Structure 1
């Protein structure tokens, strides 16, 4: 499996975990474009997409995980807000 397919497959795996639906599947066309469906034999949820567009599309699907914020991130934000005019 190429690095391109691994990156796309990882995005689909994250979607499966976030949504709790293990049926999502990815297909790759002969032209190297990617498709997402809710399961084998199901119609695609998107038009054939390039890798970056496909990963962005998959990441936008399903429930989103909240961004983790550390104490250092909070302190950095405070510093930025103090410097802003």
Structure 2
């Protein structure tokens, strides 16, 4: 179960790196199962960006940083949404 938790957290950090042009963000997992985010500065030191958080709170925190990627939508999704708007 712990590996699934860290996979979800590390995936959130990887998405953050992609959104931020690969800034050196890292995930730290504490002994009590909480997570926090660090950013390596130019001097090579790690700046702690938050207090240790539970998984859901950590993922929400990471997702709140930076510009979000636009959601992908197929032509069918767009047409369906347009049809719904026209009915209202």
Report TM bin, short chain: 0.7 to 0.9
Give the aligned length.
Answer: 84
Asked whether 1:51 is paired with 2:51, we answer: no
Q: Which runs of 5+ in 2 are unaligned?
A: none
Normalising by structure 2, report the TM-score.
0.81
Q: CA RMSD in A?
A: 1.8
Q: Any idea what SS the aligned residue of 1:43 has?
A: strand
Asked whether 1:14 is paired with 2:18, we answer: no
Q: How does 1:30-41 map to 2 (within 5 A)?
A: 30-39=31-40, 41=45
Q: Any idea what SS the aligned residue of 1:54 has?
A: helix
Please identify which structure carries the higher strand content.
2
Output one character per residue of 1:30-85: Cα deviation in whole Å (capped at 9) or x when no partner.
2111000113742311121111111111112123212222211111112211222x
Normalising by structure 1, report the TM-score.
0.84
